[in-house]
């Protein structure tokens, strides 16, 4: 939920920290702060965005060669300067930036207060800073000893950067539950919540493991466990280019990412579809494919947009593999003692690979003996490391908080999985397998065509920018797409929107329809086409304004609907990949017209690493 960055080296740290925070701002943006060390230690904090922090820092001439920064999404304590990070311990010896939640903070706080420690903020992070300080002073310990001891006492999740002002040639980093990456440079080293702020300085990274601590100096990094055992780091080479995390001329990351989808989908199947299109090979599933094909049941766990991709996965899997599928919100699944039988497969879907509830659901499923497969975008993130096997989506970094290309690439992976299993089980014939693959390969160019509705979507957005409510309807494969369209609108434009199965409209939402109510009907040609035509008529009979997403050349719906946005024709299984494009564009333009912060909508964060 928060983003942290740290630098230790010989260069001025200030701009490295500010630029790093800008890249991490998608993780949280209600307050920001930084510390710079250069003989003395200076802290800058503010409520608001990184640009507000930048203004404050720029008023000072101070710089340092060591620094840490933090961009916050508040959990404990309202967003204000006092609660912003870094948090400083009561004697000022420890400066802490933290992503996560210290769950037993209240007990620890009471204990420290009973020993006379006074607190300045409402944060759980200050409790940790003060615990370290207390142990440091009372136990006459080194900074490393005090930090290790404190971390052995806290419960909860953390990605941490800590500076001890008495040992100012080090940054301490520690991880449990929240992500933390160490960037290994030449005479300089970095810490960050993800690799995006590091990539312009070094391609060498270490993804920290839970309960590990790293002690960074400018030309040395020591990795240890919390039990004080030395660890040999697994240094990985990043496959990330700086251009991938820039807007590249687009007004917003979201728009860039919408337009990137042809490339993203292509990258998702590239190297996995055999050159003669006779088969699909998902390397990450090699050892589990047989087990998957014999599964009694598949349970998909995810949150947010990834959950919508999972719901679409249910339709695809049941049709092509004939394995029963249940789709669960990870947050519900993890807390209700779910029944997991031998032979069940759990598929966890997560763009970030860090969503706390999905990660916890993965751990629970494994404890209960299920084989867990991950579908994630961020390489080296926590979920892929906790699963038995998995497939990366390879969509490239998704920075816009509202997920777009992650959704289409997740659906692409689910389809590929289902086709491979269905073929293995003999449910999909060789011929049909080839037809499916051929169509899959054509999807990027069809998305390219679907993107041509951009101007029309803008024109429609101008008509509907002031609406207060919207209804999104779809049937079959297009029902999850309707849910996703509604989510896109509400999360970035703050317009209330509901997604519904079109036929269910009669059991409630139809009461909302009047001549002010835009109803977006996802009605491309598939098996449910005739039925959805009836639904459109029902809406028109109540004077609702119908915006229909249709297959190109559809004259029937064009005559009935008030407005249409066309997408190319495809097989039903891929219909969602095309139909979602106009919905993404429509919500994008409405949000821009309403003056909303599209890439960083209020109250939301890209990666929800707290439950
Ligand atoms: C947040 C993001 C959504 C995302 C969801 C799940 O709510 O704002 O865009 O769909 O988390 O994230 P994940 O990384 O697990 O896919």
**What was the pLDDT predicted at 1?**
66
CA of 603 to the centre of ligand 1 (A): 13
| Residues linked to residue 225 through DSSP beta bridges, in sequence order | 212
Pairing of strands 545-551, 563-567: parallel
Q: Would you give the end-to-end CA distance of the chain in angstroms?
A: 10
State the Cα–Cα distance between residues 439 and 427, nearest whole angstrom: 18
Task: Give, in order, the Cα–Cα distances in Å from 601 to each of 22, 32, 50, 181, 490.
Answer: 15, 16, 15, 26, 10
Task: Give, in order, the Cα–Cα distances in Å from 566 to each of 122, 307, 555.
Answer: 52, 26, 11
CB count within 10 Å of CB 325 equals 21
The H or E element containing residue 560 is helix 555-560
Q: Please name the residue whose Cα sits nearest to atom 3 of ligand 1.
A: 304
**What was the pLDDT predicted at 243?**
67
Q: What is the pTM of this model?
A: 0.79
- For residue 116 the two structure tokens come to 């006379």
**CB of 303 closer than 6 A to ligand 1?**
yes
Atom of ligand 1 nearest to the CA of 406: 16
CB-based contacts of 600, cutoff 8 Å, min separation 6: 25, 26, 29, 401
CB 447 within 8 A of CB 408: yes
The H or E element containing residue 533 is helix 529-541
CA of 303 to the centre of ligand 1 (A): 6
Tell me the DSSP string of 307-370.
Answer: HHHHHHHHHHHHHHH---EEEEEHHHHTTS-----TTEEEEEEESSS--HHHHHHHHHHHHTT-
**What was the pLDDT predicted at 379?**
78
CB count within 10 Å of CB 228 equals 10
CB 480 within 8 A of CB 325: no
Closest-CA residue to 300 (of 324, 280, 267, 270):
324
- Is the dihedral angle over the CA atoms 145, 150, 152, 158 positive or is it negative? negative
Q: Give the length of the chain.
A: 611
- Among 254, 258, 355, 597, the mutation site with the greatest number of ligand 1 atoms within 8 A of its Cβ is 355
Angle at CA of residue 206, ends 202 and 210, nearest 5°: 150
Select which of 109, 175, 545, 606 is catalytic. 606
In a 13 Å sphere around the CA of 278, the CA atoms on its Cβ side amount to 1
**CB of 550 closer than 6 A to ligand 1?**
no
pLDDT in tens, 82-102: 999 999 999 999 999 999 889
Pairing of strands 545-551, 518-522: parallel
CB-based contacts of 133, cutoff 8 Å, min separation 6: 89, 90, 91, 93, 94, 117, 146
CB 172 within 8 A of CB 129: no
| Residues linked to residue 62 through DSSP beta bridges, in sequence order | none
Burial class (CB in 10 A: 0-12, 13-18, 19+), 493: buried
- In the DSSP assignment, the letter for residue 573 is G
CB count within 10 Å of CB 110 equals 10
CB 298 within 8 A of CB 317: yes
**CB of 351 closer than 6 A to ligand 1?**
yes
**CB of 403 closer than 6 A to ligand 1?**
yes
State the Cα–Cα distance between residues 389 and 402, nearest whole angstrom: 27
Pairing of strands 204-207, 344-350: unpaired
Tell me the DSSP string of 112-147.
Answer: HHHTT----SS-HHHHHHHHHHHHHHHTT--HHHHH
CB 396 within 8 A of CB 405: yes
Q: What is the mean pLDDT of each run of 10 residues along the chain (611 residues)?
A: 93 96 84 95 94 95 96 84 96 96 93 96 96 97 98 94 96 92 97 92 93 97 97 88 76 95 93 89 93 96 98 98 97 93 94 94 94 91 92 90 97 98 97 97 97 97 95 96 98 96 88 89 92 92 94 96 97 97 98 94 82 73
Task: Give, in order, the Cα–Cα distances in Å from 551 to each of 365, 386, 538.
Answer: 40, 41, 20
State the Cα–Cα distance between residues 171 and 94, nearest whole angstrom: 11
CB 474 within 8 A of CB 481: yes
Based on the residue annotation, tell me whether 606 is a catalytic residue of this protein: yes
State the Cα–Cα distance between residues 571 and 328, nearest whole angstrom: 26
Angle at CA of residue 520, ends 519 and 522, nearest 5°: 140
CB 192 within 8 A of CB 17: no
CA of 403 to the centre of ligand 1 (A): 7
- Among 334, 352, 354, the mutation site with the greatest number of ligand 1 atoms within 8 A of its Cβ is 352
CA of 204 to the centre of ligand 1 (A): 27
């Amino acid at each position: 939920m928060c983003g942290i960055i740290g630098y230790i080296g010989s260069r001025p740290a200030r701009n490295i920290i500010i630029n790093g925070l800008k890249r991490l701002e998608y993780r949280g943006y209600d307050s920001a702060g930084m510390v710079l060390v250069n003989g003395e230690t200076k802290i800058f904090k503010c409520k608001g965005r990184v640009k507000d922090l930048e203004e404050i820092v720029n008023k000072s001439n101070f710089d340092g060669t060591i620094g840490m920064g933090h961009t916050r999404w508040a959990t404990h304590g309202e967003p204000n300067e006092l609660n912003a990070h870094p948090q400083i311990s009561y004697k000022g010896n420890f400066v802490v930036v933290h992503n996560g939640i210290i769950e037993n903070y209240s007990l620890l706080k009471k204990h420290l207060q009973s020993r006379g420690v006074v607190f300045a903020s409402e944060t759980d992070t200050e409790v940790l800073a003060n615990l370290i300080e207390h142990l440091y002073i009372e136990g006459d310990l080194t900074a490393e000893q005090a930090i290790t001891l404190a971390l052995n006492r806290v419960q909860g999740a953390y990605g941490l950067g800590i500076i001890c002002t008495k040992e100012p040639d080090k940054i301490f980093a520690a991880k449990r539950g929240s992500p933390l990456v160490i960037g290994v440079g030449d005479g300089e080293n970095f810490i960050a919540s993800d690799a995006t702020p590091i990539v312009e300085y070094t391609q060498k990274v270490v993804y920290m493991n839970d309960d590990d601590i790293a002690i960074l100096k400018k030309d040395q990094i020591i990795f240890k466990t919390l039990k004080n055992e030395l660890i040999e780091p697994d240094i990985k080479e990043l496959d990330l280019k700086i251009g991938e995390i820039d807007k590249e001329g687009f007004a917003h990351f979201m728009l860039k990412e919408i337009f990137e989808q042809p490339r993203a989908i292509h990258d998702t199947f590239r190297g996995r579809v055999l050159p003669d299109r006779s088969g699909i090979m998902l390397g990450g599933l090699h050892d589990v494919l047989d087990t998957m094909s014999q599964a009694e049941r598949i349970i998909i766990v995810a949150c947010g947009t990834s959950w919508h991709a999972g719901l679409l996965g249910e339709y695809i899997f049941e049709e092509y593999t004939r394995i029963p599928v249940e789709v669960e919100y990870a947050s519900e699944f993890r807390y209700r003692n779910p029944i997991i039988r031998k032979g069940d497969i759990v598929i966890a879907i997560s763009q970030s690979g860090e969503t706390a509830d999905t990660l916890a659901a993965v751990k629970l499923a494994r404890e209960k003996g299920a084989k867990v497969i991950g579908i994630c975008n961020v390489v080296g993130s926590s979920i892929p490391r906790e699963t038995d096997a998995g497939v990366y989506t390879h969509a490239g970094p998704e920075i816009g908080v509202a997920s777009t290309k992650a959704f289409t690439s997740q659906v692409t992976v689910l389809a590929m999985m289902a086709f491979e299993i269905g073929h293995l089980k003999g449910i999909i014939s060789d011929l049909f397998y080839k037809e499916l693959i051929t169509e899959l390969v054509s999807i990027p160019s069809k998305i390219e065509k679907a993107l041509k509705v951009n101007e029309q979507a803008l024109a429609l957005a101008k008509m509907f920018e002031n609406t207060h409510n919207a209804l999104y309807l779809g049937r079959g494969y297009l029902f999850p797409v309707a849910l996703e369209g509604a989510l896109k609108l509400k999360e970035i434009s703050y317009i209330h929107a509901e997604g519904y199965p079109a036929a269910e409209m009669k059991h409630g939402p139809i009461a909302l329809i009047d001549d002010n109510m835009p109803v977006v009907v996802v009605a491309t040609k598939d098996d449910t086409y005739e039925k959805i035509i009836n639904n459109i008529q029902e809406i028109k009979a109540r004077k609702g304004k119908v915006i229909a997403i249709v297959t190109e050349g559809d004259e029937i719906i064009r005559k009935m609907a008030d407005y249409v946005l066309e997408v190319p024709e495809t097989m039903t299984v891929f219909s969602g990949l095309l139909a979602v494009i106009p919905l993404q564009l429509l919500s994008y333009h409405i949000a821009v017209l309403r003056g909303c912060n599209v890439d960083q909508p209020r109250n939301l964060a890209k990666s929800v690493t707290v439950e």
